[in-house]
C-alpha cells in the first residue's frame, strides 16, 4: 500500500524498541481508528498505513529486510493485495484486545471475586509466641436468597439474545472484525428480567464476616496470612477471592525487634558499672540475672542467647541484646556531693579514665595541627 517510510508513519526512529514500537502504533492507530472516524476515508487510509508499518516492523525478519532494502525488501510480504493483512487479527488482538474488550477470546465464564486485605495489629508478645484472634471483615457474599444467580426465586436468568450468551459481540470493519462487550448484557451473557429482591439482581450482598485467624509464632510486621476463598464473592456465581491478613506489630514499651533478635536498654548505677555486680533484666519469659563485670562502660551490649524470637519459617532462635546505660545520680545531698569530690580527687589520672584521656589528647593534637 504505502511507500512512505514506515518509521516516519509511526513517528519513531530506527533504534526503537519492540515495546516503544507497540506504544507508537497504538497511539497512531487509536487516532485514525475507523470507529473514531466514521465515513472518513483519509483516516481509514492512515490507519491501514500504520497497520502495514507495524506488521513489518514488529516482525524481526521483515524489519531487518526493510532496514537493508527498504520497501523492495518486503513488497512480497506486506502491503500487497494478497498478503498485507494476513495476520492482522493477531496484531489487533495483541495491541487492542485490552481496549476494545476482547481481542480473540470469548466470554470466559463468571469472574472471580476481588481479593481483600485486612491489617491485624498485634502486641509483640502475641507475635513472638503465636495466637488466635477473631476478626470482622466487611465484604460481598453470595446472596443466599437467590443462591447468587441474581434472579427472583422461581425464575432464572435468560441467555442474552444479542450475544447468544457469549458476552461479546463482533462488528465487521472492512477487512477486520472488532470484538466488543455486549451492550445488552454488559458482558455477562445473561439477562435477568425478574431480579431478586434481596440483592436487586447483583447476586451479591454486603455482609460482615467474623473469622478466626491462627497467627503462627514469630510473625513480624509485613508478614501476610492468606485465607483462601474468604475475599469477595464473584459476580454471577463466580468463585470468591482470597483474604490477606497483614501483620502490624505495635510498639513495645521495653523491647525493640530487629529480625529475630530483641533489644532492650538496661540502666545501671555508676557504682555497679565501676565495681561490677548482678542485676535483673526482663525477657518475654520473665526476669533473668545478668552479671555486670567491673569497669562496664555505657553502651556495652550483653547477649542473652535464645531469648529472642523463634523464626516463623524455621531456623535458630534469636537472642536478647541488653544495652547498658550508666545512669548519672541526681538530687544529691551536700554530703553526697562532698564524697564525690573527694572520690574525684582520688581517681584523677589516665589509668582510671582511659577514654577521656585519649579524647583530650586527640583534641590537643587536632588544634596543634591547625594553622591559624
Q: Does 105 map to a domain? A: no
pLDDT tens column, 200-257: 888 889 999 999 999 999 999 999 999 999 999 887 777 889 999 999 999 999 999 9
CB 288, CB 264: distance < 8 Å: no
Q: Are residues 17 and 41 in the same domain?
A: yes
Q: If pLDDT is split at 50, 70 and 90, which confidence band does 104 have?
A: very low
Indicate the residue among 220, 249, 278 that finishes a domain.
Answer: 249
- Which comes out higher in pLDDT, residue 347 or 88? 347
Rounded mean pLDDT, 3-25? 88
* β-bridge partners, 116: 243
Round to whole Å and give the CA distance between 330 and 253. 24
- Given a cut of 90, whether residue 85 has pLDDT beyond it is no
Q: Are residues 187 and 232 in the same domain?
A: yes
Quick one: pLDDT at residue 47?
Answer: 86
- Given a cut of 80, whether residue 61 has pLDDT beyond it is yes
Quick one: pLDDT at residue 325?
Answer: 94
Q: Are residues 188 and 73 in the same domain?
A: no
CB 132, CB 214: distance < 8 Å: yes
Q: Are residues 216 and 270 in the same domain?
A: no
Q: Are residues 144 and 70 in the same domain?
A: no
Quick one: pLDDT at residue 191?
Answer: 87
- Given a cut of 90, whether residue 352 has pLDDT beyond it is no
CA dihedral 311→316→318→319, nearest 10 degrees, is 160
Q: Which three cell numbers stand for residue 90?
A: 493477531
Q: Are residues 291 and 338 in the same domain?
A: no
Residue 121, C-beta contacts closer than 8 angstroms, at least 6 positions apart: 248, 249, 250
Could you tell me whether strands 286-292 and 277-283 are parallel, antiparallel, or unpaired per DSSP bridges? Answer: antiparallel
Identify the DSSP state of 156. -
Round to whole Å and give the CA distance between 119 and 132. 15
pLDDT tens column, 111-157: 788 999 999 999 999 999 999 999 999 998 988 888 888 888 888 88
Q: Does 147 map to a domain? A: yes
Q: Does 32 map to a domain? A: yes
Residue 73's domain is classified under what CATH number?
1.10.287.110
Q: What is the DSSP string of 324-364?
A: EEEEPP-S--HHHHHHHHHHHHHH-STTT-HHHHHHHHHHH
C-alpha closest to that of 186 among 209, 214, 160: 160
Q: Are residues 211 and 276 in the same domain?
A: no
Q: If pLDDT is split at 50, 70 and 90, which confidence band does 361 have?
A: low
Q: Does 106 map to a domain? A: no
pLDDT tens column, 324-348: 999 988 899 999 999 988 888 887 7
Quick one: pLDDT at residue 78?
Answer: 43
Q: If pLDDT is split at 50, 70 and 90, which confidence band does 97 have?
A: very low
Quick one: pLDDT at residue 215?
Answer: 95
The proportion of the chain whose per-residue pLDDT surpasses 90, expressed as a percent, equals 36
- Given a cut of 80, whether residue 303 has pLDDT beyond it is yes
Round to whole Å and give the CA distance between 46 and 37. 11
- Given a cut of 80, whether residue 105 has pLDDT beyond it is no
Burial class (CB in 10 A: 0-12, 13-18, 19+), 231: buried
Q: Which three cell numbers stand for residue 72?
A: 523492495
Round to whole Å and give the CA distance between 269 and 249. 32
Indicate the residue among 221, 249, 277 that finishes a domain.
Answer: 249
Q: If pLDDT is split at 50, 70 and 90, which confidence band does 34 have?
A: confident
Q: Are residues 136 and 243 in the same domain?
A: yes
Q: Does 108 map to a domain? A: no
Q: If pLDDT is split at 50, 70 and 90, which confidence band does 320 have?
A: very high
Tally of structural domains, the chain? 4
The overall average pLDDT reported for the chain is 82
C-alpha closest to that of 220 among 265, 264, 258, 169: 258
Indicate the residue among 249, 280, 298 that finishes a domain.
Answer: 249
- Given a cut of 50, whether residue 77 has pLDDT beyond it is no
Q: Are residues 147 and 185 in the same domain?
A: yes
Residue 181's domain is classified under what CATH number?
2.10.230.10
Q: Are residues 168 and 213 in the same domain?
A: yes
Could you tell me whether strands 277-283 and 204-215 are parallel, antiparallel, or unpaired per DSSP bridges? Answer: unpaired
pLDDT tens column, 175-206: 566 778 888 887 778 888 889 988 888 888 99
pLDDT tens column, 269-291: 988 998 999 999 999 989 999 99
C-alpha closest to that of 88 among 104, 100, 101: 104
Q: Are residues 43 and 11 in the same domain?
A: yes
pTM exceeds 0.85: no
Q: Does 174 map to a domain? A: yes
Q: What is the DSSP string of 287-322?
A: EEEEEE-TTPPTT-EEEETT-S---TTSS----EEE
Residue 296's domain is classified under what CATH number?
2.60.260.20
C-alpha closest to that of 265 among 305, 229, 298, 216: 298
Q: If pLDDT is split at 50, 70 and 90, which confidence band does 88 have?
A: very low
CB 294, CB 276: distance < 8 Å: yes
Considering only 66-75, 158-167, 225-234, which range has the smallest mean pLDDT? Answer: 66-75
Q: Are residues 48 and 89 in the same domain?
A: yes
Quick one: pLDDT at residue 222?
Answer: 92
Q: Does 104 map to a domain? A: no
Q: Which domain holds residue 12?
A: 6-96
Quick one: pLDDT at residue 1?
Answer: 47
Q: Does 33 map to a domain? A: yes
Quick one: pLDDT at residue 98?
Answer: 42
Amino acid at each position: 500500500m504505502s511507500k512512505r517510510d514506515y518509521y516516519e508513519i509511526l513517528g519513531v526512529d530506527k533504534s526503537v524498541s519492540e515495546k516503544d514500537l507497540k506504544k507508537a502504533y497504538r497511539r497512531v492507530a487509536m487516532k485514525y481508528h475507523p470507529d473514531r472516524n466514521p465515513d472518513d476515508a483519509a483516516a481509514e487510509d492512515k490507519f491501514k498505513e500504520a497497520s502495514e508499518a507495524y506488521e513489518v516492523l514488529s516482525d524481526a525478519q521483515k524489519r531487518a529486510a526493510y532496514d537493508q532494502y527498504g520497501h523492495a525488501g518486503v513488497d512480497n510480504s506486506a502491503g500487497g493485495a494478497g498478503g498485507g493483512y494476513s495476520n492482522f487479527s493477531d496484531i489487533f488482538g495483541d495491541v487492542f484486545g485490552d481496549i476494545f474488550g476482547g481481542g480473540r477470546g470469548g466470554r470466559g465464564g463468571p469472574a472471580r471475586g476481588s481479593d481483600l486485605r485486612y491489617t491485624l495489629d498485634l502486641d509483640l508478645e502475641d507475635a513472638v509466641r503465636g495466637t488466635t484472634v477473631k476478626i470482622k471483615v466487611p465484604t460481598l457474599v453470595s446472596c443466599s436468597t437467590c443462591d447468587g444467580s441474581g434472579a427472583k426465586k422461581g425464575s432464572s436468568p435468560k441467555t442474552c439474545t444479542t450475544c447468544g450468551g457469549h458476552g461479546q459481540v463482533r462488528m465487521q470493519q472492512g477487512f477486520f472484525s472488532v470484538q466488543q462487550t455486549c451492550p445488552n448484557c454488559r458482558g455477562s451473557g445473561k439477562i435477568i428480567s425478574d431480579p431478586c429482591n434481596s440483592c436487586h439482581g447483583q447476586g451479591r450482598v454486603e455482609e460482615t464476616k467474623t473469622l478466626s485467624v491462627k497467627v503462627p509464632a514469630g510473625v513480624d510486621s509485613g508478614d501476610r496470612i492468606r485465607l483462601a476463598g474468604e475475599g469477595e464473592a464473584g459476580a454471577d456465581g463466580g468463585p470468591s477471592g482470597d483474604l490477606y491478613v497483614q501483620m502490624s506489630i505495635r510498639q513495645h514499651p521495653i523491647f525493640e525487634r530487629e529480625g529475630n533478635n530483641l533489644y532492650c536498654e538496661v540502666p545501671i548505677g555508676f557504682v555497679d558499672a565501676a565495681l561490677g555486680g548482678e542485676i535483673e533484666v526482663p525477657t518475654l519469659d520473665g526476669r533473668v540475672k545478668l552479671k555486670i563485670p567491673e569497669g562496664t562502660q555505657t553502651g556495652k551490649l550483653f547477649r542473652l542467647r535464645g531469648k529472642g524470637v523463634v523464626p516463623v519459617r524455621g531456623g535458630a532462635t534469636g537472642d536478647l541484646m541488653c544495652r547498658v546505660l550508666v545512669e548519672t545520680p541526681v538530687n544529691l545531698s551536700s554530703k553526697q556531693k562532698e564524697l564525690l569530690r573527694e572520690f574525684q580527687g582520688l581517681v584523677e589520672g589516665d589509668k582510671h579514665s582511659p577514654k577521656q584521656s585519649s579524647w583530650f589528647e586527640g583534641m590537643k593534637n587536632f588544634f596543634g595541627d591547625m594553622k591559624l
